[in-house]
Amino acid sequence: MTVMINWLAFLQVFAAALVGAAAVVTFYAFGLRLLVRSGRAPVVTPAEFTDAITVISEKEARRAAKQAAKAAKKNPLTEAQKRLSLYGAYACFAICAAAVIAGILIIVIGH
């Protein structure tokens, strides 16, 4: 029994995975940047984990939220520019979701 590897197909899958991963990461990062620019910086409250992970205190979380609110007040953009940035962020997140869903559909249906 001889196993033949189609190296061209392997390279095509590798290139598609590399481009897809880079696109998802790029659009997600750009979406986060636009979200912060619109004055809606995501502040995540700390969660309880095992001893292996350092968790910030509630005081530090409140301070981070206060700094985010202060930075949002200093935003030099007009309300229209903030709204446009927010819509751009939503569009970037939608592109990320569409790319992930398309990849899953290609695997499930296209195979």
**Torsion sign over Cα 28, 100, 93, 54:** negative
pLDDT tens-digit map of 59-89: 887 888 888 777 767 777 788 888 999 999 9
Domain boundaries defined on the chain: 23-108
Let me know how many helices (H) and strands (E) the chain has, helices first. 3, 0
Over residues 35-48, the mean pLDDT reads: 74
- Reading the block at residue 78, the tokens are 């007009």
State mean pLDDT over 31-46.
80
User: Tokens representing 61?
Assistant: 């979380």
